[in-house]
């Protein structure tokens, strides 16, 4: 990549390729620079440091997830919307485990907007359950914890027992829906 073609977006694109191909631990400024065909100091015109690049990468991944999950949920409601949200979350994580592992779980400036989009999608998926205010936020947090936890454990090989993983996933979905329908 010629130096003139290097931009903030191009640096993040290269970071995505590195974590997809070699995992999150391989992401360094020198690795990005090598992929770009430039010296590491050339990157400082586009990112402040590795922490800045990690924040930009996290924002990119959350934005991709919001697009993917939002498209899956669009036009659906109730159990169908909830199923679409959880399935889309799981499919993104299992297709892009290295990329997903770079997501900074605590909000930082770069992730506020895509994180809000994901929360809003979750709130929309839960609308049919009659949840409002804090109750809806608690439910979104539970959905995130379930989708995130299951997907991360799945991609890490954390379910070592012989029972079918999809059966476990179905049970988890049933438990969530049952909990949302239960009188509060």
Q: Is 1-47 CATH 1.10.10.60? A: yes
pLDDT band at 182; cut points 50, 70, 90: confident
In the chain, which segments carry CATH 1.10.357.10? 59-181
Q: Is 59-181 CATH 1.10.357.10? A: yes
Q: What is the pLDDT of residues 160-174, one digit of tens each?
A: 999 999 999 999 999
Burial class (CB in 10 A: 0-12, 13-18, 19+), 161: exposed
Q: How confident is the model at residue 84, as a pLDDT? A: 98
pLDDT band at 81; cut points 50, 70, 90: very high
Q: 67-92 burial, b if ≥16 CB within 10 A, otherwise e?
A: ebbbebbeebeebebbbbbbbbbbeb
Confidence (pTM): 0.93
CA–CA dist 101, 22 (Å, integer): 12
CA-nearest of 66, 176, 168 to 129 is: 176
Query: Which residues are CB-contacts of 42 (< 8 A; sequence separation ≥ 6)?
Result: 3, 6, 33, 36
Q: How confident is the model at residue 2, as a pLDDT? A: 55
In the chain, which segments carry CATH 1.10.10.60? 1-47
Alpha-carbon torsion angle 154, 157, 161, 166, nearest 10: 30
Q: How confident is the model at residue 159, as a pLDDT? A: 96
């Amino acid at each position: 990549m010629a130096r003139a073609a290097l931009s903030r977006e191009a640096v993040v694109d290269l970071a995505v390729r590195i974590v997809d191909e070699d995992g999150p631990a391989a992401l360094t400024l020198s690795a990005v620079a090598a992929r770009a065909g430039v010296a590491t100091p050339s990157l400082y015109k586009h990112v402040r440091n590795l922490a800045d690049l990690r924040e930009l990468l996290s924002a990119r991944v959350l934005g991709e997830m919001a697009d993917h999950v939002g498209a899956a949920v669009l036009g659906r409601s109730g159990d169908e919307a909830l199923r679409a949200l959880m399935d889309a979350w799981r499919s993104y994580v299992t297709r892009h485990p290295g990329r997903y592992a770079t997501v900074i779980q605590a909000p930082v400036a770069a992730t506020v907007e895509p994180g809000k989009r994901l929360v809003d999608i979750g709130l929309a998926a839960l609308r049919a359950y009659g949840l409002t205010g804090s109750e809806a936020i608690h439910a979104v947090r539970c959905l995130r914890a379930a989708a995130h936890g299951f997907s991360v454990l799945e991609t890490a090989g954390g379910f070592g027992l012989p029972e079918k993983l999809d059966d476990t996933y179905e049970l988890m979905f049933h438990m969530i829906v049952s909990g949302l329908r239960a009188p509060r």
